[in-house]
Amino acid sequence: MDREDEHIANWITQRITNVLAELPGIRVVSLTAITKFRIPTHKISINSNKPQPANVLEGAVRKAGSRIRVELRLVNFPLGYIAWASSHHWEIEDGFVLEGTIRKEMTFVANQLLRDRRSA
């Protein structure tokens, strides 16, 4: 990944993290803490000494020319199944459209998770 692609991926990660952190009932790991999980060889493992996530948000950012694709997957951590997935394509210049779309979608998904958690 070149520097520009990495910058775009970091920006998207930051926006998603901020959106989720604004939602009541959702706990989000800080960007500083998740940096180590970007290393392909690092795996999230179960550690009985620490609280475990119920869900993990995974994603990928790909760029081709002036187009960008963002793929997101919400994985149920203990069971390992994909609970939700989404893929979007934008022109890079449409950064605020990208941000607004991600905000709406992540808010919807997070609210669904909270609703499911309350009904369980």
For helices 3-21 and 95-119, give the axis angle rounded to 10 degrees: 40
Q: What are residue 78's phi and psi, to 5 degrees?
A: -65, -35
H/E run at residue 69: strand 67-76
Write out pLDDT tens, residues 88-118.
888 877 767 777 887 788 788 777 777 776 7
Question: Considering the entire predicted model, what is its pTM?
Answer: 0.70
The pLDDT confidence band at residue 65, using thresholds 50, 70 and 90, is: confident
Alpha-carbon dihedral angle through residues 35, 36, 40, 41, given to the nearest 10 degrees: 180
